[in-house]
Amino acid sequence: MEDNIIEAKEEQLKIRLDKIRQMEQEVLSREKVLKEKDKSKKQILLRLSPGLWNELAVWAEDDFRSINGQIEYLLAECVRRRKDK
């Protein structure tokens, strides 16, 4: 009786472990895709005044973005709006 319980628990643990391994593979796959996308981005040096930097930092935090992400978003929005004119 006790052996059956242990075997059943072991089976449940194996199933959970398999699910965790699948999830880990999905995460690794997604990370690889994101890294490939990041490699394709151009890097630039941008000098900003401390005041503008602080304003962007607050705005980025409000939008749950990094400062770089916020700057990229704002630039993309400006380009989109310019194209819409």
Q: What is the CATH number of the domain that holds 68?
A: 1.10.1220
Residues 79 and 49 placed together within one structural domain of the fold: yes
pLDDT of 4: 87
Could you read off the pLDDT of 4-28 as tens digits, one per residue? 888 999 999 999 999 999 999 999 9
Which of the 8 DSSP states describes residue 41? S
Q: Which domain holds residue 68?
A: 43-85
Residues 36 and 6 placed together within one structural domain of the fold: yes
How many domains are contained in the chain?
2
| Residues 53, 46, 83, 70, CA torsion sign | negative
Q: Which two tokens stand for residue 47?
A: 């000098």
Residues 78 and 49 placed together within one structural domain of the fold: yes
pTM score, whole prediction: 0.52
Q: Are 68 and 57 in contact (CB under 8 A)?
A: no
Q: Are 67 and 57 in contact (CB under 8 A)?
A: yes
Could you read off the pLDDT of 42-81 as tens digits, one per residue? 889 999 999 999 999 999 999 999 999 999 999 999 999 9
Residue 13 to residue 19: CA distance in whole angstroms? 10
Residues 52 and 35 placed together within one structural domain of the fold: no
Residues 49 and 65 placed together within one structural domain of the fold: yes
